[in-house]
Structures are given as C-alpha cells and as structure tokens.
Amino acid sequence: QVQLQESGPGLVKPSETLSLTCTVSGGSINGFYWSWIRQPPGMGLHWIGHVYYTGSTNYNPSLGRRVAISMDTSKRQFSLNLSSVTAADTAVYFCARVSLSGYPEYYDHWGQGTLVIVAS
Amino acid sequence: QSVLTQPPSASGTPGQRVTISCSASGSNFGNNYVYWYQQLPGAAPKLVIYRNSQRPSGVPDRFSGSKSGTSASLAISGLRSEDEANYYCAAWDDSLRGVFGGGTKLTVL
C-alpha cells in the first residue's frame, strides 16, 4: 500500500531555511500531484503547494518566493524548502498525495506529519 | 483569492444529526467540487466526502454531503462519540491551488 513519510530537522533557527523530504513507498509516483500542507499548533490546515510528477509546481501565493518544492522520482522523494523562516512558520508539516481524474481531486494518502519549530 | 468559510464549532448529542457548512467566496473555484476531511487529535486528516456528496469506501453512511451554488454542507446523522473531531472542507481554485476552510470543531455532548 502507499505510504508517505516526512523527514527533516524538527528545529530551525529564524531566518534560516526549513527543508523537509517526503519518501513515498508503494504505488506509482507517476500521474499524481504531491503536496505539502501545514498546520500551526491548534490551528487549521494550510496548503503550501504541490509538485506534479513531471516536476511542474504550484504554490500558495501567500508564501511568495520563500517556497520551493521539488521531485526526485528516482529516489521516490519530493522535498520542501521554505526560506527566511520566522516563528509563524512553526507548524506540523504534512506531505500528501493528490488523486487525479484529469483534474486534482482529493488527498488520498498522507504522511503522519512532522513538527517543525522555528526558534533560536 | 479563494476563501472557504466554516463555523468554528458545532455540537450535538449522541444520536442527533448535525450539519457543518462551508461557504465559498472570492475568485472562482476550479472543478466545483468540495471535499471534506475529518481530523482526529494528533492524526493526519482523513477523507470522508469527495465530489460534494460521494462517500469513500469504509466511511459510514451516517456521513453525507451536499452542495448548492457556493455553499456546501457536511451532515452527520446518528452522531457518535467517535465523530468528535475537526472537520475541514477543501477545494481547488481555478489556478489549481488548494484551499482549505478554517475548520469546524465538532463536540459530541
């Protein structure tokens, strides 16, 4: 079955770059969008962006040029880089797969989430 | 900018029927579908309704969804204690960007 697992530092200093990787096991990489979603403590879900298996990307405009998502199909991984972080970027970060039917549909597989704290 | 608005909280007693609304505003949404996710404490969200009213396999038929114009609703009938969770509506805008509602905390009294 399809499983996703986030990995990366749990603590990042302000102004530095947050880097996370999501490793996909089972299923196909091709034909799906691969997303990052975050959830600040006690708050709701926020879509960060996604990468198509071809490498094309789409991002939440609220994050401006700070965000970049990339795909490495040979490693079955996709990654998130968020630069110039502040305390407001403290959140649980989820990776997720988006099912497609000619159009993005729903998130059908999720990682367990990883808490990233931004603090000095 | 596309926005989905949900009430912050909802509640009901066991056996009751509760509904959670989701109102869309701002720029156009993409495929006119709304999706609903249930998030239990400490867990990743789980899909409970897709394409406005379709139920994934394994989701009890107590869960139902509907959509009319720019408003969607999730209904849970025969409320049970295990339904206590946060519920989020979601959609795609016409630029294929994901949008989530602010979430509704459902309390079973």
Nearest to B100 among A44, A104, A113 (CB): A44
Low-confidence ranges of chain A (pLDDT < 70): none
Quick: pLDDT tens for B31-86: 789 999 999 999 999 999 999 999 999 999 999 999 998 899 999 999 999 999 99
* Residue B98 neighbours by CB under 8 Å, 6+ apart: A35, A37, A47, A50, A60, A104, B90, B91, B92
User: Where do the DSSP E strands lie in A15-56?
Assistant: 18-25, 33-39, 46-52
The pLDDT value recorded for residue B87 is 98
The pLDDT value recorded for residue B27 is 66
The pLDDT value recorded for residue B62 is 98
| pLDDT at residue B2 greater than cutoff 90 | no
Quick: pLDDT tens for B14-33: 999 999 999 998 766 767 89
Mutation to test the A interface, candidates B27, B50, B54, B87, most A Cβ within 10 Å: B50
The pLDDT value recorded for residue B66 is 96
The pLDDT value recorded for residue A5 is 98
The answer to whether the CB of A47 falls within 8 A of the CB of A106 is no
Nearest CA in chain B to A37: B98
| % residues pLDDT > 70 (chain A) | 100
Burial class (CB in 10 A: 0-12, 13-18, 19+), B85: buried
Q: Which two tokens stand for residue B24?
A: 């869309």
